[in-house]
Amino acid sequence: MKCDVAQRSIVQYVYGELPDEGCHDLELHVAGCEPCRNELQVYEALRQALALAPVVEPSASLLAQSRIRLDDALDQMPAPTLRMRLETGVMGFFAQLRAAPGMAVALAALGLGLGATAGHYWNRSSSVQPTGIHSSLSSNWTAVSAPSVANISQIVRHPETHMVEVHFNQVVPSTVEGSMDDPEVQKLLLLAAQNTANPNLRSDSVGLLAEQCKAGQYCQGGPVRTALMVALRYDRDPSVRLKALEGLQPYVAQDSRVRDAILESLMHDPSQPIRNRALQMLEPVNADSSVRIVLQTVSSRDVNPAMREASLKVLHSIPETE
C-alpha cells in the first residue's frame, strides 16, 4: 500500500468504514511507516477532541412542545380523501417512472397508441360521409384495412374530378422479440407486471420474471426484484403473488427487504397456500431474530390452528444457539 492510498483510507478506518482486507493492509502499512502512523494518530486525536462537544439531547419540554405542535398541525390537515389517496398513488407512480425512464417511454408509446385508436373511433362515429365520394372509395376501404386506421387527418377533394385525397394515420401493433437479458424486453415485462386491467398479462410477466430470478439471472437488486416484492405485497391475484414469492426465494437469506416482504405475507396474506409457502421459505433463515418474532406471533395468535402448529414446529426446530 502506498502512502497516499493509506492516508486516504485513514478516515474510513477511523470511522469503521474500511473493509476488513483494507484494514489489514492499512495496519501492516502503518506499522512500518512513521508518517502514516502519525497521520492515524492525528485523526484518532481529532475524534477524541470532537467528543468534547457531544450531541445535546433535546430537552423533555422541547420534545413535548414539538409533539403538541405537530399534533395540532396534523389535526388541522384534512383526513386523506379517496381523491387525495389517488393523487398520492399517481404521484408515486410518476416517481417510479422517473426512476425508470425506459418504462416511461414505453408508457408514452402505449398512450399514443390508445389515443390514436380513440381518435379513429371518434372519427368513424362522427364523420359525415358524402355519398358520392364514399361510393368511389368503398372498394379500396377494405384494402386499407379499417381497424388499422387510427384517424383521418385531412381530406382534400380535387376540383372538377371525382378524386379525393385522404390523409390518415395507422395504428401498427408491434411485436418485440428478444432474450430475457434484453433491457427493452425487461422493461416491457415490468410494465406488464403492473397492468391492473389484465390479470393474465400480470401472471405471465410476473411468472417469467420470477423464473429468471429463481434461476439467479437478471435479478441482482434493481427493478426486477422490487417488482416481485411489489407484486407479492399488492397484487390482488393470489396466483400472481405466489409466483412472485417463488421468484424471491434465492434472496431470502441475503436481502432483508425480501425477508420482510415474505414475513408480511406469512402474517397477513389472505391466501393459505401463500402463507404455507412463505413459512417453508423462511426455514433456512429461521434463526434470524425478525423471523423468530413473526413465528412466535403466528404460533401464538394466528386464527388458523394449522398455521399456529406449523409455526410452532419450525420454532421448536431452531437450535438454541444463544
Partner 1 sequence: MESRRFAILPLETLSMPHSSSAPPRIQSKTRMYADSTARVQDAELIREAQKGSREAFDALVRQYDQAVLRLALHLTGSEQDAQDIHQEAFLKAYRHIGSFRFECSFYTWIYRIVTNLCLDHLRRRKTRREDSAIMVDAAGEEHDTMTNVSDERAMANPARELERKMLGAQIQAALETLTPRERTVFELKHYHGLRLRTIGEMLNTTEETAKNTLFRATRKLRTQLAELR
Q: Long-range contacts: 264-272, Cβ < 8 Å, 24+? A: 264/233, 265/232, 265/233, 265/241, 266/294, 266/298, 267/294, 267/297, 267/298, 269/238, 269/241, 270/238, 271/238, 271/241, 271/242, 272/304, 272/307
Whose Cβ is closer to partner 1: residue 246's or residue 288's? 288
CA–CA separation, 33 and 2 (whole Å): 10
Region 37-56 residues binding partner 1, contact defined as CB under 8 A: 42-47, 49-50, 52-56
Instruction: Find the binder of partner 1 among 15, 121, 122, 141 (CB under 8 A).
Output: 15
The terminus-to-terminus CA distance of the chain in angstroms comes to: 40
Q: Which range, of 5-13, 110-118, 178-186, 302-310, touches partner 1 by CB under 8 A?
A: 5-13
Region 74-93 residues binding partner 1, contact defined as CB under 8 A: 74, 77, 79-80, 85, 88-89, 91-92
**Least Cβ distance, residue 99 to partner 1 (angstroms):** 9
| Cell 405466489 -> residue | 242
| Cell 403492473 -> residue | 194
Q: Which range, of 137-145, 155-163, 285-293, 308-316, touches partner 1 by CB under 8 A?
A: 285-293
| Ramachandran angles phi, psi of 81, nearest 5° | -80, 175
Q: Which range, of 62-70, 149-157, 211-219, 273-281, touches partner 1 by CB under 8 A?
A: 62-70
Q: Interface mask (CB under 8 A) for partner 1, residues 248-267, using x and -? A: --------xx--xx-xx---
Instruction: Find the binder of partner 1 among 4, 31, 83, 95 (CB under 8 A).
Output: 95
Residue 14 cell numbers, joined: 477511523
CA–CA separation, 251 and 248 (whole Å): 6
State yes or no: residue 143 binds partner 1 (CB under 8 A): no
Q: Interface mask (CB under 8 A) for partner 1, residues 206-245, using x and -? A: --------------------x--xx--x------------
- 80 three-class SS: coil
**Least Cβ distance, residue 73 to partner 1 (angstroms):** 6
Residue 12 cell numbers, joined: 474510513
**Least Cβ distance, residue 51 to partner 1 (angstroms):** 9
CB neighbourhood size of 272 (10 A):
12
- Within the chain, residue ranges assigned H as helices are 3-14, 20-32, 34-50, 60-76, 82-99, 101-126, 131-144, 183-193, 199-214, 222-234, 238-248, 256-268, 272-282, 289-301, 305-317
State yes or no: residue 2 binds partner 1 (CB under 8 A): no
State yes or no: residue 63 binds partner 1 (CB under 8 A): yes
List interacting residues with partner 1 (CB under 8 A).
8, 11-18, 23, 42-47, 49-50, 52-59, 62-63, 65-67, 69-71, 73-74, 77, 79-80, 85, 88-89, 91-92, 95-96, 226, 229-230, 233, 256-257, 260-261, 263-264, 288-290, 293-294, 322
